[in-house]
Chain A
Amino acid sequence: MALYPSQEWCDSWKKAMNNDPACIEYGKNWGLDFPGDFLFEVTPGSGLDKTHYLWADIKGGKCLELKMFDSPGEIKPGFYVTGSYGDFKPVVKGEKDFIEGVVRALFKLKGDMGKIMRNAKYIRAMAASISSFKNEYLGE
């Protein structure tokens, strides 16, 4: 089991996304003519002591790269998601829905919202793939 967050966990999520038929099907047009990468800013709390950044480079339904950083550096992602570790944890566990978190403003999502709306099925599939494998968590 990988620890969330860690590079090992990033590798597991990348593998899960790339093997998920829904991600492949609904994401086939994602990021082809626009920057489809996501930068997740996970803020401290619930066992996480400092902010972590997870960057997922996604194109055409495939995750090309998924990396963890201490600082976002020069990355200018197509989509920027901010949320606390305490709010991300139930999503990673599959207990809470990511989109519901966005609607409730637990997560701030910045980027071309037209693309998000047009690809809502892909966003849902991508979020579902995050809970398709078992993990360990900080603070538990």
Chain B
Amino acid sequence: MKKCSLRMVLYELRNINGNFMPHFFGIIFPNLMCVLLSKTVGSQVPDQMRQEVVTSIMLTMTLVIPMAIMLIGYGALYAQEVERGIPLRMRLFGVGEKYEVTAKIAAHLVFLTIAFAIYAVFQVLFMDIQRPAASSLLCLAVSLYLIGIIFLIIAHALANIFRKFSLTFGVTMFLYFGMMILTGMMGMRTDQLPEFLQKVAAALPMTYVSNDFIGFWQGGKYNFMPFIQSFIFMGAAAGILLMCSFHFQQRSQTRGKDSIFA
């Protein structure tokens, strides 16, 4: 089997670039939403609060980027490929699954970084946001990448389970909007949700980024324990889903038990 190469990562980057979804949902949509919400919500708050509100909106909208690129974008892309038998064709050319998935992850992380960079430049140039403490910025960056990786695992598992673009896309969109509502990204505060949904929201790291990060954006203390626990919970759920997908995908016992292969 071949090993992961830069050429394969470039191939996957071209593959992402050839799809409209990550560009729209991962780059245009968060920037656009940021402007619209800042203009509408920002105009309704006192001047001295405006910068904090705009910063809070910026933090919330940052979450859209990993969710859109890794959950919707990757899910749609990989599900289309699985449905058309492309991963199998690649394997028959000696491009192993591990190799292909590694290249896909690397390419998606590069695309995610580009999307973050565009978002950051846009915020600095056009939005009036608070200057962050270095530790808070680092904490946000690490959190966003971790969230992205967890979503990629979920999307990969769903595509492997459903093996159809339509189903995978439907489920990832449901998760995307569901999580946006639960974590306060759609304007509804988490504490306004029914108690059961509040518990679900507490298990999602996005809730903390969306609601709490503004509290220590310019420095200060924060109890990270619930946030870390939410990562462990969501990571474990994604891991279990991935295991289930391997079970679904598991290629039937392919060789007779006495077969002698090199």
A, B co-complexed: no
